[in-house]
Structures are given as structure tokens and as C-alpha cells.
Structure 1
């Protein structure tokens, strides 16, 4: 008889009471299984982690370039190569020439794609948008023989560093209307290191050129780009109207990058500068209007300028300066919501006998100083002149300067206002000021030949040149003497 297996389910049922004790009777077996579980978990976690990292390493989604003009070109359409070695000056010039023919159609846009686009200086044209894509860099050739020479500015009569001609800017424009320089934070790099070294070694026979200079133009917008390492002043609007500058990053080394001002509005009117970060080797912003007798003769003031929402740094000069070249006059300037950090000076007005002109109706509001040597400074002996043709009796007028909501810490001298018998400073107002100091001497609020008032209580204690008023505007104490001086340049 052939025996058959019983179909009883009891034979095939998993008997855990028999198998589990047998399986785990040895601690070595249990230990081995635990290690298998641990390594399997680690493998799964590692694979998932690497996959997660790879997500971050993947290139960001493509950012389409916005279209601001009816006709759009790519720099490569004109034969440019963005390898950082090929010189693309001709490509830029061809592109600008092509766009110059499109003014009646609304102009043209030149897109600079990602890459390093080496070039000598080139000019812009009216009704043009220069758009710098993400990771695009326009590089300036650092050999001065490729930089054109231009006559000195008419309000300076002098190249600023040398008599006679001056070098032009890397990106230049004159007598233009409706110009936009913008992008996805692309960069214009002046490669200024060679220029700075030659300047210090006195190897240059002409004044260095700015990075970007727009002259005699109107309706200008510059936004959303980075400007760095300019040979000289970085962004120089000269005799322009209706200029908007916003969302810029401007960089240069804090030391050994001489005269690399960030933004220098010069004989300009109706200008807005906002939402910028500037860290450079000279003034972050310096408002100007011509130099001595040349500026007086040119007669173009800087006026109606609003500066707001900035973070600035200058270890050599000041965060925001007015002057010293101010001979055409400067008026109606508003500076609001500015942080000046780790700087030599925060906000400064500078001029001298021989300048002529005026500085009036200037207001500073909501300023924060963090670790600066001098917070507020007005200086009237900045004796630097283009030549000996200036009138030593051309005394500038300084009046109507107000400071409100001024705060900070780590400031060595909060206020130094140094007028003179020939250049007294009139109608200065302080209100809501509290600045923590790092110096314990008495004279840390310094004055000479200044008149004005303090409204309410401020810290540190103001100098005795100023009248004291309560918050309701009632006179509490008259000044001892407007001409008293406690200037101490040793602190």
C-alpha cells in the first residue's frame, strides 16, 4: 500500500512555540540577526539620504529671462564667447549698434547669459535694457591701453587724480534716455586689482575710470546686479535726472582699494537709491556737484535725492558722505533706514574754503551705527583743490541739517561737527538719539561754530553750542556760545 500524506492542517501549521525557542536558543544567532537588521536599516537610510542630497545638487529650475523690450537679443548672437579669455568688445559694440536702430519700436534688450564675458569699455544706447542672467559676469580688461581717454568732467576741470584727460568707464553712456541695467544678480567686475596697484606705485598718467558711468541722461534704472572691484568710483551718474538705483550689491576690498566709492550721484536730481548692500574701500555713497571754481561755473546742483533701506560699510572713509566736491550745491537730500557697521565714519558732510556752493535741507532719520569710530561728522577743512585757481574766499553755506532717531552701539565719538568762523554751520537739529559709546572721556559730542537745537533728551549729552528744547518745543536752555569749540581729533 502506498502511504499518502495526511491533509490534516496541523502538519503545515507554523508552530511558533517550537520554532522561536529553537531559533533564539543561541545568543550568537540573536546577535547576528540584530546586526543584519541594523545594517539593512543603515543601507536604506543612506540611500535615501544620498537621494535627498542629490535633489539639492540638481541645478535649480531654469529661470526664464524676462522680456522688457519688443526685440530681444542674446550676446552670443553677435559671436561672443563667455570663457573669460576671449575678448568680446566687438560683440558688445555690434549688439548696442543694432539696438540703437530700434528706438522708434521701443528699443531692444541685450541678454548676457551665464559665463565670463571679457571686454574692453563699451557704450550703451537709448531705449536699451542690458540684462545680466544668473551666473553671468562682465569682466573688464585690466590693461589701461584698452580704455579710452576722455576730457575731464566740466565741473571738475581736472581729471581728479591727474590734470588733463581721464580714462572712461567700463560701461558708459552719454546723452541717453530710457536705459535699464538689470538682471538676475549677474555681475559687472572691473578687475580693479591691477589698477589699484599701479595707482599706489604712481604708474598711471591719467585718472582711473569708473566701472559704470552715465552722463547727461534721464530715465535711468539700475537694479538687481552686483558691481565689484571697480578701478575707481563704482557707479557714477553725472548730470542725470530721474535715476532709480535699487537692489544692488557693491563690493571692493575694505583696504588697498583706493577711491572705490560705491555710488556717487554727481550734479544729479530726482534720484532714488534703495535696498542696497555696499562694502567698499572708500565712501559707500558720496553725493557731489563739482569741484571749486569749475563746479561753481558749471552750476548744476545735486537735489531731490532719497536714500533708504541700506546696509553699508567703509573702513577707510564713511558710509554716506556729502561732498567734498559740492561747489554746484546740494539740497533736499533724505537719508532713511540705514545701518552703518564696522566703519571708520557713519554719515559725513565735508567741504572747505574755496568750494563755494551750499549744503542745505539735509535730513537723516532712522540710522543705526554699529562699531564705528565717528558717527556723525561735519568737516569744513577738507582742503583738496584741483589747482590754484580757486577763490579762497568762496565759503560754502551749510544749514538746515537734521538728525532724528539715531541709535547704535560701539561708537567712539558719536558727533563731531567742526564749523569755522568763515564756514559756520547753522540750524542743526537733533532729536531721539541714543548711541552707546566705547570712550569715557568728557568730549564725545564735539562742536565748533555750530548753532541749532536739541529737542527732548538725547544721549550722549550734547555740546553747549546747541539750544535745548523739551518735546513740546519749549526752550529749556539757551546755548552758551555758538562758537565754542571742544573738537578733539585725538579721540
Structure 2
């Protein structure tokens, strides 16, 4: 009887063990999904009761007339003559040359089909703004920075959308200044919102940004959806979307091909980010595809305010330097935790499919502290498949702060070179169903590691 009971229990264990492992695998994914933005109900693209046209303010879409004053007048009118339900500023078909301008709350900027909003290349007249407090200086140069082409600060309920209209930053003049080292200040972002909530950007094309394309910083409730973001692969630092010290951000259903990371999550730079202490959390990235000479989906390296509760799912990355790239450094401080990457496909990755690095990125000045050691914990990467991947992965932590609970499951990355192997040091975690075989620092099973049910 005892033998029969033992056999029955053993049989039950054999049946239940795969299920228990699967539940352990899914638990953090469910946790991250609930913590990250669901993308449903965030910053809906509202219909405005009032619709006005830029032509009513003297705008001329002939590609030669500079329309900066027309756009600023239109936004001033919307801001100072509030209409219940807000106002849509419509840009009809044509080429609308303009300098930088700000938006205002309860406003929609709508670009009709055939409308091209084109940034002036007269950099001498470009306005300057203060550096971000979480960076302490311009990202490229000390001191002030150039204002974004389209900006907003302290706004609520702002929509940029259209019928596949185009915002063209004409960034080559800025890229050449960077290449020649003649920049006086940090280059402008194409679209930047600060201290704002309820931002919705959709259904337009962004191209040739001078610097980062979309930069929500100190924002909440941001949706970027159905976008095309384009820049040449040799254009410097033209990141696609960079949520920065922001919460509840959804980036979905978009194609990005730029000269830098497709998406890069940030939260401040070294001692300035630590002091400002504004994390990024609740970030969802899904159904994004594209190529970059650098990274597909990146976290950091400027993550000194902390990054948590990130969900990346159902993405395709091709012709890229890295696929998934988590990067930090001594002096950064902060943390990167509770990150789930699921169902990502890669092809033509020239450096590594997965990189988690503790020695990446530069410093704003010499005042950073060697004691500001970041932590990386609870990163789960599941259901990743790639071909043409030079190296499967590099997981290299910090000796005084090893990266913990780095867990891989069903990760299969096939390379150009036979025998390409994972590189690991100062990292702890587990692996299940990983090809090529994972490094020794990762236990052979989740059960053996006892550390992947976070």
C-alpha cells in the first residue's frame, strides 16, 4: 500500500512539476504586466469640439515661408481662449516650414495627409532652455540646451496625431555640427514634453530628428502608438522614443529605424539623477519593430533615478547592434528591477542578442561617486528567438554589486559563428531551455536556482 502511494505521488509529481515550473515562469510576467501600463485607456486621442486651421493665422504651406509666428499665434489663441472640450489645430496638406514652438493643454495638433511640418535649418535662431535637473547639464554639452522642435511643459491632455502627416526635423545640419565638433549646446529633441500628463502621439511620421525623437521627461500617462520614426543609420543619437523619469508609458504598434536605440528608458544621469530621484516605472513596449546600428530595446545607461516594472513583448528587431540592452555603470546609483521581456524575435544582430552590462556609458563630470553602485535585479527574458546573431549574450555585472535573479527561459539565438558562447561574470540567476547553452553562472534549472519566482 505504501509502495502504491509512493508511486502515485511520484507520478503526480512528474505531472505537476512542469506545470509548477511554468507557473513560476509566468508569475513575474503577470506581475510586470499588472505594474506596467496596460496601454488601454491611457491618454485617449480625444475629439475636440473646436477645429481651427493654421491658415487662419497666416500660415502658408509653400515650403519657403517661415511659419513660426503663425504657429505661436495659434497656440496662444488656444491657450487664452479656452473652449470646452479643447481645440484642434489642423495643418492641411502642404510643406510648413517653421521654427520651434510650444503646445498647450487641451490641444490637438493634427497633420492632414500630405502635410509636412518642417523644421527650419537656421540653428542660430534656435531658442535655448535650461538643462534638465536630473542631468545637471545638457546631455552633449555643459550648460543650456536647444529647445525641442515641438515642446510643452506642465501640460495636460495634449494630442499630436494625423492622417500620416510628417514632422521633419531636417536634422542633417545638426548631425554635421556634431560630427565637426562645432556644437555650442546639446542638440534639440524633435518632440519633448516635460512635467506633463495625458500625452497621446499617434498616426504620424517622424523623420530626421536632430537628436532624440520623442522625449517625455517627468511625465505621466503617455501613449505613443501607430507611429513611423525614421532617420539614417549614420545619424548620431537619433533615439526613437526615450521615456525619461516618467510613469505609465505605453509604446506600441510602431516601426522605428534610426541611428540609435529604438526605445531607451532613462531616469537621470549620475549624481544629478540620484538627487532628483524621479524613477521611470510602468513602461509597456509592445508590437514595436525596427532596426538600429545600436540597440533595439534599451534600459539606461542614464538610469540613476531608478527603472522598474517594464514589460517588453511581441517585438521584432533586425539589423541591429544589440537586441535587448540593459546598461548601467559605477557612479550611476539607482536600480533596474522587475523587467520582463517576452516573445521577441531578432535577426542580423551584429554584436549580441542580449546584453546586460555594468560598465556602459559616460559621466556628466568628475563629481560622480564611486560609491554610487547601481543594482540590477529580477530581469526575466522569455521566448526569444533569433538568427544571424553574432553572440548570444553578454551578462556582466559589477563585482561589488552582482546582478541578481537574471532568468532566461526558452531563449534560442543562432549565430554567424559556430561555437559562439554566452559571456558571464558577477551575475546570478537561472536558465531553462537556452541555446546555445547558458554560462555556468546561471543555474541549469529554475528549481535549482530558487531565485526566479519573483
TM-score of the superposed pair, with normalisation by structure 2: 0.87
Segments of 5+ residues of structure 1 without an aligned counterpart are: 1-65, 480-491
Indicate the SS of the match to 1:68: coil
- Decide whether the 8 Å contact of 1:412 with 1:444 is kept in 2: no
Counterpart of 2:383 (choices 391, 399, 405) is: 405
Unaligned runs of 5+ in 2: 1-44
- Distance (whole Å) between structure 1 residues aligned to residue 428 and residue 403 of structure 2: 6
| Contact preservation (8 Å) 1:468, 1:478 | no
User: 3-state SS of the aligned residue for 2:201?
Assistant: strand
State the partner residue of 1:193: 172
Q: How do 1:460-471 residues align onto structure 2 when only pairs under 5 Å count?
A: 460-469=436-445
Change (3 A) 1:104 1:402: same
Counterpart-to-counterpart distance in 2, 1:103 and 1:247: 29
Partner residue of 2:316?
A: 339
> For 1:383 and 1:171, how far apart are their aligned partners in 2?
28
Any idea what the Cα deviations from partners look like across 1:282-325, whole Å, max 9, x if unmatched? Answer: 1111100000000001000000000000112111x101110010
Instruction: Give the 5 Å matches for 1:109-188.
Output: 109-188=88-167
Work out the number of aligned pairs and report it: 406
Secondary structure, aligned partner of 2:390: strand
Superposition pairs of residues 255-266 of structure 1, within 5 angstroms: 255=234, 257-266=235-244
How far residue 67 of structure 1 moved from its aligned partner, in angstroms, is: 8.5
CA shift, 1:420, in A, is 2.4
* 1:354/1:392 contact within 8 Å kept: yes
From 310, 317, 331, the equivalent of 1:354 is 331
CA distance in 2, matches of 1:422, 1:351: 14
CA distance, structure 2, for counterparts of residue 348 and residue 115 of structure 1: 40
SS at match of 1:304: strand
Q: Is the 8 A contact 2:261 2:295 kept in 1?
A: yes
Residues 215/187 of structure 1: CA separation in 2 closer, same or farther (3 Å cut): same
Q: Write the mapping of 1:321-332 to structure 2, written as runs, cut at 5 A.
A: 321-332=298-309
Question: Residues 474 and 383 (structure 1 numbering): CA distance in 2 closer, same or farther, change over 3 Å?
Answer: closer
Listed as ranges, the matches of 1:379-458 within 5 Å are: 379-441=357-419, 443-455=420-432, 457-458=433-434
- Indicate the structure whose relative CO is greater, using CA pairs within 8 Å and at least 6 residues apart: 2
Instruction: List, as ranges, runs of 4+ consecutive aligned residues in structure 1 with deviation greater than 6 Å.
Output: none
* Residue of structure 2 in register with 1:210 after alignment: 189
The range that moved more, 378-387 or 216-225, is 378-387
CA–CA distance in structure 1, aligned partners of residues 450 and 146 of structure 2: 53
Structure 2 distance, partners of 1:383, 1:233, is: 17
| Counterpart-to-counterpart distance in 1, 2:107 and 2:144 | 28
Q: Which residue of 424, 435, 438 maps to 1:459?
A: 435
Distance 1:306 1:133 in 2: 28
Alignment of 1:300 with 2:253, yes or no, is: no
Residue number in structure 1 paired with 2:41: none
Alpha-carbon deviations, 1:439-471, whole Å to 9, x = none? 123x5211111100113x2211110101112xx
For residues 81 and 478 of structure 1, do their structure 2 counterparts lie closer, same or farther at Cα, with a shift above 3 Å needed?
closer
- CA deviations 1:380-419 (Å, max 9, x no partner) are 1124110111111100000000000000111111111111
- Find the residue that maps to 1:90 and give its secondary structure: helix
Greater Rg by CA: 1
CA distance in 2, matches of 1:474, 1:246: 39
Q: 1:144 & 1:366 partners in 2: Cα distance?
A: 43
2:70 aligned with 1:91 = yes
Q: Which of 222, 232, 238 matches 1:253?
A: 232
**Secondary structure of residue in 1 paired with 2:70:** helix
Q: Distance in 2 between matches of 1:365 and 1:296?
A: 30
Contact 1:103 1:126 in 2 (8 A): no
How far 1:423 sits from its partner (Å)? 3.1
Aligned alpha-carbon RMSD (Å): 1.5
Cα distance per residue 1:223-244 (max 9 Å; x no partner): 0001010111111001000001
CA drift of 1:218 comes to 0.1
Deviations 1:140-196 (A, max 9, x none): 011212210011100000111111010001101000000000000101000001110
Query: How far 1:435 sits from its partner (Å)?
Result: 1.8
How do residues 285-296 of structure 1 correspond to structure 2 at under 5 angstroms? 285-296=263-274
368, 374, 380: which is aligned to 2:345?
368
8 A contact 2:50–2:83 mirrored in 1: no
